[in-house]
Amino acid sequence: MTREDELIKRVEQGDEKAAEELVELYYAPLLRGVREAFADPNTGFAPSLTELDPAEVGSYYDACDARIISLMKQEQRAHPHAQKAAVKIYSQVEKPFLFFPG
């Protein structure tokens, strides 16, 4: 039995700590990515989960497209060619993404 199977079994039995561990294992990395996609384009600060509008999360891939542009402007200010290259490379990423834990 895998660790995940064990946690799922414990969750089914009502173990809240197992549920928290399962969420941390699988959902925390995904939620960090969602927060990053919706970061403020001027400051780069990601919103807290409570600040995210669930309706906006539906536009995740559009937010990712906009985020790569703002991120490159912040991190590669002196290198406009690098900014353009990063945006071009990112435009070739197949979407929707597939998420796998680990």
Return the pLDDT at 3.
86
Return the pLDDT at 101.
59
Number of domains the chain contains = 1
For residue 99, being part of any structural domain is answered with no
Residue 37: Cβ-neighbour burial (10 angstroms; 0-12, 13-18, 19+): buried
For residue 51, being part of any structural domain is answered with yes
Return the pLDDT at 97.
79
For residue 71, being part of any structural domain is answered with yes
pLDDT in tens, the chain (102 residues): 888 889 899 999 999 998 888 878 877 777 888 999 999 999 999 998 889 888 888 899 999 999 999 999 999 999 999 999 999 999 999 988 776 655
For residue 29, being part of any structural domain is answered with yes
For residue 54, being part of any structural domain is answered with yes
Domain enclosing residue 45, as ranges: 3-91
For residue 101, being part of any structural domain is answered with no
Closest CA to 49 of 29, 34, 71, 70: 34
Q: pTM of this prediction?
A: 0.69
For residue 73, being part of any structural domain is answered with yes
For residue 102, being part of any structural domain is answered with no
